[in-house]
Amino acid sequence: MLKEFKEFALRGNMVDLATGIIIGAAFSGLVNSIVSDLFMPVVAVITGGVDFSNKFIALGSGVTASDLAGAREQGPVLAYGNFLTLTINFLIVAFILFLVVKAMNRLKRQEEAKPPEVSEVPRNEKLLEEIRDLMAVATERTPRV
């Protein structure tokens, strides 16, 4: 069973998948920073400084708090602001990934469009071809008897 697990764990696809997950986790931190530090301030300026994470609808009459944490302590609330923030984050991440995949596909197409590299003929073959051509010319000049 240990041998079977070792074959499974060290299979090429598993290593690629693990690498992808690790890079994805690092990319997640980068994207979260892009969203929270770059895009959300712009969204806040566009919306007049509205903080979506604190938006909620009170479902009970006893909820009088103005912030989400206090409202949750007082009773049931529909916290749509966090959902809205996560939706915006998702759309931004999806768009960034779309741009990355599009760029990768463009690079791949450019690589495929390149003509194949012509390998240089080895020197000994080049000399043999020259000798052959010289012998053919010499044979043509020699009169036949």
**pLDDT tens profile 96-109:** 778 878 988 898 88
Looking at residue 132, its pLDDT comes to: 92
The per-residue pLDDT of the chain, averaged, comes to 81
**12: pLDDT confidence band, cut at 50, 70 and 90?**
low
Segment among 66-70, 114-118, 129-133 with least mean pLDDT: 114-118
Task: Look at 145 and 73; give whichever has higher pLDDT.
Answer: 73
The whole-angstrom distance between residue 13's C-alpha and the CA centroid of its chain comes to 18
Residues 58-85, mean pLDDT to the nearest whole number: 87
Identify whether the C-beta of residue 56 lies closer than 8 Å to the C-beta of residue 77.
Answer: yes
> What is the pTM for the complete model shown?
0.51
Looking at residue 86, its pLDDT comes to: 82
Identify whether the C-beta of residue 59 lies closer than 8 Å to the C-beta of residue 78.
Answer: yes
Over residues 15-57, the pLDDT tens digits come to 777 778 888 888 778 877 877 788 778 877 887 877 777 888 8
Token pair of 18 as six digits: 């693990």
Q: Quick one: DSSP state of residue 78?
A: E
**131: pLDDT confidence band, cut at 50, 70 and 90?**
very high
Token pair of 16 as six digits: 């690629």
Token pair of 108 as six digits: 């791949």
Helix 80-113 to helix 12-33 angle (10° resolution) is 120
- Please check the confidence at residue 80 and state whether its pLDDT lies above 80: yes
The whole-angstrom distance between residue 105's C-alpha and the CA centroid of its chain comes to 11
**11: pLDDT confidence band, cut at 50, 70 and 90?**
low
Task: Look at 126 and 113; give whichever has higher pLDDT.
Answer: 126
> Distances in Å between the alpha carbon of 25 and those of 1, 31, 37?
31, 10, 18
